[in-house]
Structures are given as C-alpha cells and as structure tokens.
Amino acid sequence: MFNKTIAAISTAYGKGGVAIIRISGDEALLVAKKMLRLKSDNIEPRRAYYCEILSDNEVIDDGILTYFKGPNSFTGEDVCEICCHGGIYVTRAVLQSAYASGAQPATAGEFTRRAYINGKLTLSRAEAIGSVIDAKTDAQMRLSSSQARGILSSKIEKIRQSILNSISHAYATIDYPDEDIEPAEREQMSECLDLVISSLEELKKSYRAGRAVSEGIKTAIIGKPNAGKSSVYNMLLGQEAAIVTDIAGTTRDVIESTLSLGGVTLNIADTAGIHDTQDKVEKIGIERAKARASEAELLLCVFDSSQRESDEDEYIIECASGKSAIAIINKSDKASQFSREFEDKLLSKFSHVVSVSAKNCEGAGELGDIVSKMYDLGDINLSSDAVISNARAFSSVSLALEKALDAKEALLLGQTPDIICFALENALCELDMIDGRGASEEIVNAIFSRFCVGK
Ligand SMILES: Nc1nc2c(ncn2[C@@H]2O[C@H](COP(=O)(O)OP(=O)(O)OP(=O)(O)O)[C@@H](O)[C@H]2O)c(=O)[nH]1
Ligand SMILES: [Mg+2]
C-alpha cells in the first residue's frame, strides 16, 4: 500500500519566491525524470540539478531537482524535491505534471506518516513537527522544535532501557521460583526502579509547563466597570483590540484572543464590568462575563486603585475564591485610594498581587514573571529539557509511573519476581504508547490527520 509514489506541494499555498513539490516513493526518480528536462541522466543523491519543468512536453517553468535516495531521506523512501517559482498557478501546474507522470496525490500528513512507519521518526517527534508548523508563540516554537529534534524521545528511550534493565534483573531469578531474589540483585533492582520512578515523576511534572505553553490556559479578565480590564487586555495583546472609554459599561461582549505572557500561552477573554444594572444589553454582557469567568482556569482580577474600593470589588474577590487568580491593582500612575484593610485583604486573598498602569503599559513584565512562575516555566528550559506537552503522553507517563510504583512496592514487600515483572512490563507498555511502538492505529490516524497536505 505504501509503495505508491505520492506528490504534493510542500510549501505554503500562495505567492512566494519559490515553492517545493515533494515526491516520495519507489518511483520518485522515475516520475521526476518524466516531468523534467535534465542535462544529464545520471542523478546522484543529495545534489542539486538545474532542470526545465515540462507539462505535455512543453516547458512551463525551470527550477532545481534534489534527489534523496531512501532510506536516507525524510520519509525513508526515495524522495525528489522540485523547487520551482512560487506562483500559485505555476506551482499547481508542476504538481499536475507530477500526477501526469505517475505520482498520486498525497493525503494530509502522509510524508510524515511514512517517515514514522519507516522508522525515521518516533510518534512524539512526528507530533512535534506538526506543532512546530502550528506554533504561534516563541515558547511554542522552542518547545516543539526541541521535541521534534527528539529530546523527549531520547528521554523516554532512557527510561525504557532502565525498565528493561530491571526486568532482566527480575528474570534472572524467575526460573527458580522457590528461590528468593538475592539481596545484591534486589539492591540493584531497587536502584534501577528508583531511577525510573524519579524520571517519570519529573516528566509528569513537566506537563504543567508543557500544557501551559502548547495548549494554553483559559483565562478571563474580570473586574468592576471602568477598572481598566480592556486597557489591561490591550496592554497584554500589544494592540488596541478592545474599545477603551471612560464610560462605565463600555465592554459588553466577551472578546477573546490568544497571546503569550511570560512564555505561557493565554487563551484570554476581556469581559463586561460586573455590577448591578437595569440596562438590558449590559445585563446580558455581565451574564456572559460570569459564565466565562467560571469556565476560566486563571482569573486576572482588575481593581481600580484610583477610587475607594466598593462592594463590586468585594464581589470580584469572591469570584476568585478557590481559583487560580492574580489581583491586578490598576492605575498605579495615580495615588491609591484603597483603604489599608482592602490592600491587606487583597494580599491575603490572592497568592499573587501586582500593580500596573495599563494606560502607560507598565507592569506587564512583572505580570509575565508571575504567570511564568505559576506554570513552572522558570524550572524548565524549553529548548533542551524533555517536556510532556499533550494529554496523550501525560496519560501514558502517569500510568507508567503507577505501574513502576507497583513494581517497587512488590519488591519491597518481597513478592515473587513474576509479580514485579508483570508490573514492569505494564509500565513498558504504557511508555510504548508515547513513541508509537504500542500506539493504536486510531491514535496514529488522529495524529496525522491534524497535519496539512504536503507535510
Ligand atoms: N490613569 C489611568 N487610567 C486608566 C488606566 N487604565 C485604564 N484607565 C482609564 O480607565 C477608563 C476605563 O478603562 P477601560 O479599559 O475601558 O475599563 P474597563 O474595565 O474595560 O471598563 P468596562 O468595559 O466599561 O467595564 C478609561 O478612561 C481608561 O483610559 C491606568 O492604568 N491609569
Ligand atoms: Mg472594557
């Protein structure tokens, strides 16, 4: 099935200086030779050849052919990349010519899928390539790029080897069920298991930061009317996205955006000021604000310090109770009118309090530092640490950890080696889900269907 030769445009759709048409499969070179006029018939791998590109025997463009002989190619198969001029029409015509010469259209993610099937990439690396392409923030790009280069995969491989090591220690005695595991053997196994457990714990912990960067945190800005919520929103976004006026009740709809703050991706909403009102439209806005606040994982509660605190501010404090929240004391460019009691109350009710002047764009850096710390980003180097960044891998790591802890307990209780082996083999199975050895067809399909055609 995978021997059919496929082709697709691998560069973005649209006008550009150059575009690349990628062809992969047993007949890649044959297809390329059919559709190109080359100066020589002898095409060596990894060399660039000037070519004229033909359609119905007419030259439609000229470009460069590069040939990668499998298995030394991205997909592991023979690959030809034809670089042509990047017009929308010409690129499509070159692709059509590849089809006419025997290639078939590639489906979404098919090149990467072939790379995975041919053992060129682990599943988590393939997944990370998709994330590099989708990255919208600097932190997302650094995280996905390090995982695409295999940092997570090699960490998982190390843990696998340690588990295999423990299993081999246990198997060494399994043939003699009546004999106890030797104390020295037990000691070695115990050390090996401790290493597995601590590595898995570390990986599991990294998901807090990984998720904050890759998936993002659902965040709502709330506060009373005129507190400066929209000004804070605009400051964080770096543009005048929401309307700001001195009229209380300016914002009605929930306005949403995605931004990066201290490396954390915030899926953030500006909302209507919460207070008692008879205005029909404002009332609807306030209901929406409350609903969005209750769904949010992180609340940015804005308080206007240029005025004495009010019951509306008290209500905002109540909304934040039991949630991850940051108190933003806004309008720090003016003298604070807050009572000492209220300031103390904010400090006691919120684990994080920050003063800003949204109008003057002051305080965003400090807010970024707080968010970064809250989601453990300070403890992690996104470019070089193994980080779990999706729910699938998190679930596998958590289950593998449970099984490893079971094995350790069995060892401490002096249970027979087969029980320890059973737990360890289960841990191995869970871990193998992450990098493809044990992932189901359904999971693999779901991962590659998120890719675009040509990748
Ligand atoms: N001095 C000062 N004024 C500010 C600051 N932030 C906002 N304001 C002013 O406060 C008023 C209200 O600001 P908005 O950002 O619209 O407040 P809001 O909380 O979104 O208001 P609603 O949408 O009506 O609930 C505007 O006149 C802003 O210019 C600040 O840091 N300092
Ligand atoms: Mg507003």
Please choose from 302, 359, 361, 366 the residue to mutate so as to test ligand 1's pocket, defined by most ligand atoms within 8 A of CB.
Answer: 359
Domain boundaries, the chain: 6-106, 125-212+389-449, 217-379
Using CA atoms, how far apart are residues 305 and 430, in angstroms rounded to an integer? 52
What's the gap in Å between 256 CA and the centre of ligand 2? 12
Ligand 1: residue whose CA is nearest its atom 26: 246
Thinking of the domain 217-379, which architecture would CATH place it in?
3-Layer(aba) Sandwich (3.40)
User: Is the pLDDT score of 1 beyond 50?
Assistant: no
Using CA atoms, how far apart are residues 112 and 64, in angstroms rounded to an integer? 23
Please choose from 222, 229, 230, 231 the residue to mutate so as to test ligand 1's pocket, defined by most ligand atoms within 8 A of CB.
Answer: 231
In the chain the first and final C-alpha atoms are separated, in Å, by: 19
Using CA atoms, how far apart are residues 156 and 298, in angstroms rounded to an integer? 31
Query: Which has the minimum average pLDDT: 338-342, 408-412, 413-417?
Result: 413-417
What's the gap in Å between 228 CA and the centre of ligand 1? 3
pLDDT, tens digit (0-9, with 9 covering 90-100), for 103-129: 999 998 999 999 999 999 888 888 898
pLDDT band at 418 (very low <50, low <70, confident <90, very high): confident
Ligand 1: residue whose CA is nearest its atom 2: 331
What's the gap in Å between 277 CA and the centre of ligand 2? 16
Using CA atoms, how far apart are residues 139 and 385, in angstroms rounded to an integer? 13
Using CA atoms, how far apart are residues 393 and 128, in angstroms rounded to an integer? 12
Please give the share of the chain, as a percent, with pLDDT higher than 90: 78
Under DSSP, the state recorded for 297 is S
Please choose from 229, 244, 360 the residue to mutate so as to test ligand 1's pocket, defined by most ligand atoms within 8 A of CB.
Answer: 244
pLDDT, tens digit (0-9, with 9 covering 90-100), for 325-346: 999 999 999 999 999 999 999 9
CATH of domain 6-106: 3.30.1360.120
What's the gap in Å between 311 CA and the centre of ligand 2? 19
pLDDT of residue 451: 77
- Residues near ligand 1 (Cβ within 6 A): 223, 225-231, 244-246, 248-251, 272-273, 330-331, 333-334, 357-359
What's the gap in Å between 288 CA and the centre of ligand 2? 13
How much is the average pLDDT of 203-221? 96
Extended beta strands in 3-47, E state: 6-9, 16-24, 36-38
Count of alpha carbons within 13 angstroms of residue 358, beta-carbon side: 26
Please choose from 222, 224, 226 the residue to mutate so as to test ligand 1's pocket, defined by most ligand atoms within 8 A of CB.
Answer: 226
User: Is the pLDDT score of 177 beyond 70?
Assistant: no
Ligand 1: residue whose CA is nearest its atom 11: 246
Do the first three CATH levels of 6-106 and 217-379 match, i.e. the same topology?
Answer: no
Task: Report which bound ligand comes closest to the CA of 361.
Answer: 1
Helix (H, G, I), strand (E, B) or coil at 54: strand
User: Is the pLDDT score of 131 beyond 50?
Assistant: yes
pLDDT of residue 129: 87
What's the gap in Å between 352 CA and the centre of ligand 2? 22
Residues in the chain: 455
Residue 402's alpha-carbon distances to 30, 405, 423, in angstroms, are 52, 5, 9
User: Is the pLDDT score of 448 beyond 90?
Assistant: no
**Cβ-based burial of 118 (10 A; exposed 0-12, middle 13-18, buried ≥19):** middle
pLDDT band at 179 (very low <50, low <70, confident <90, very high): low
Please give the share of the chain, as a percent, with pLDDT higher than 70: 97
pLDDT band at 188 (very low <50, low <70, confident <90, very high): confident
pLDDT, tens digit (0-9, with 9 covering 90-100), for 71-97: 999 999 999 999 999 999 999 999 999
What's the gap in Å between 251 CA and the centre of ligand 2? 4
- The overall average pLDDT reported for the chain is 92
What's the gap in Å between 238 CA and the centre of ligand 1? 16
Question: Is 104 in contact with 5 (CB distance < 8 Å)?
Answer: yes
- Largest CA-CA distance found in the chain, in angstroms, rounded: 85
CATH of domain 125-212+389-449: 1.20.120.430
- Phi first, then psi: give them for residue 101, nearest 5 degrees: -95, 5
pLDDT, tens digit (0-9, with 9 covering 90-100), for 356-400: 999 999 999 999 999 999 999 988 899 899 999 999 999 999 999
Helices (H), 180-326: 183-214, 229-237, 280-295, 311-320
Spell out the long-range contacts of 361-366 with Cβ–Cβ below 8 A and sequence spacing 24 or more: 361/235, 362/332, 362/333, 363/328, 363/332, 364/235, 364/236, 364/261
